[in-house]
Structure 1
């Protein structure tokens, strides 16, 4: 329903969650776009999803619907989100439990190219290019810098 409710082609769904409450479930739709997403676009998605819920389940259904963009602390999950963050630093948690930090250089169809920061005790950090398939990434967050 959320995918079918997107008003423009450059928008995409990042996540949809529904709370476990049987009385009044909360439906949260996170959407984004290649150029970001506006409040008006979120409102349009909300109206469209609401209409689809009413059509599917009737007007008697009680629920709370929230449509917004993911915050800066929300993990990246879609290739389009990675593309919007080229040039920024990412912190990655990998399938093998390790973590990688570095500057996102490029997004390919299968993964990302990162200039990884290698820290060594007592030495200055070095940087090396690394290719990482999307399947090896468990969690990716943008590192917020206030420098």
Structure 2
């Protein structure tokens, strides 16, 4: 079992009966030098700074007690994923219904739209029509361009390479 799997296993008792879930766990550095452990946690209702701090204290103490990395010093960061962190789990999509997503598909194309619904195997985005300048319209009229879907469009989770919530200050 690698260090990441061991840290994930140690975290389980602190996840409040699966109310909290692990979004990401990264371990950077190497034995003998300073090691940085970064854990991103979330829940369907969000997670507070106090919850992150409490888990960090408890987990850090447990890792110290176990001498987890031997004599190597380590830094432990426990936080929530920022709004710029890609959505990874169905639970995160559900929490963002009604928000605008920018979705990069496996084929490299990008779709942007309001998240309408989330099913077990796909999401539905209300794709916004792309606003084009006159020169771009003329250029595309000369080419046989692929038509981008507009309106409610289902996208399977298998097709999604990356999905981010678009930040709006309106």
Q: As a proportion of its length, which structure holds more strand?
A: 1
User: Residue in 1 aligned with 2:127?
Assistant: 116
Structure 2 partner of 1:88? 99
Unaligned runs of 5+ in 2: 1-6, 138-148
Q: Distance in 2 between matches of 1:135 and 1:49?
A: 34
Do the aligned partners of 2:86 and 2:163 also contact (CA within 8 Å) in 1? yes
For 2:47, the equivalent position in structure 1 comes to 37
1:45 Cα deviation (Å)? 2.0
Secondary structure of 1:118 counterpart:
coil
Matched residues in 2 for 1:67 and 1:47: separation? 9
8 Å contact 2:35–2:72 — kept in the other structure? no
Is 2:125 the counterpart of 1:102?
no
CA offsets 1:72-115 (integer angstroms, 9 cap, x no match): 11111111111111000000111001000000011111121111
Count of matched residue pairs: 145
Q: Distance in 2 between matches of 1:58 and 1:103?
A: 45
Verify: 1:20 aligned to 2:37, yes or no. no
Structure 1 length-normalised TM: 0.86
Contact 1:7 1:44 in 2 (8 A): no
Q: Could you list the per-position Cα deviations for residues 40-86 of structure 1 after superposition, in whole angstroms to 9, with x for gaps in the alignment?
A: 21123213432442437277442100000111111111111111110
Superposition RMSD in Å: 2.2
SS at match of 2:128: strand
Partner of 1:135: 158
| Number of the residue aligned with 1:146 | 169
Q: How far apart are the structure 1 equivalents of 2:48 and 2:109?
A: 36
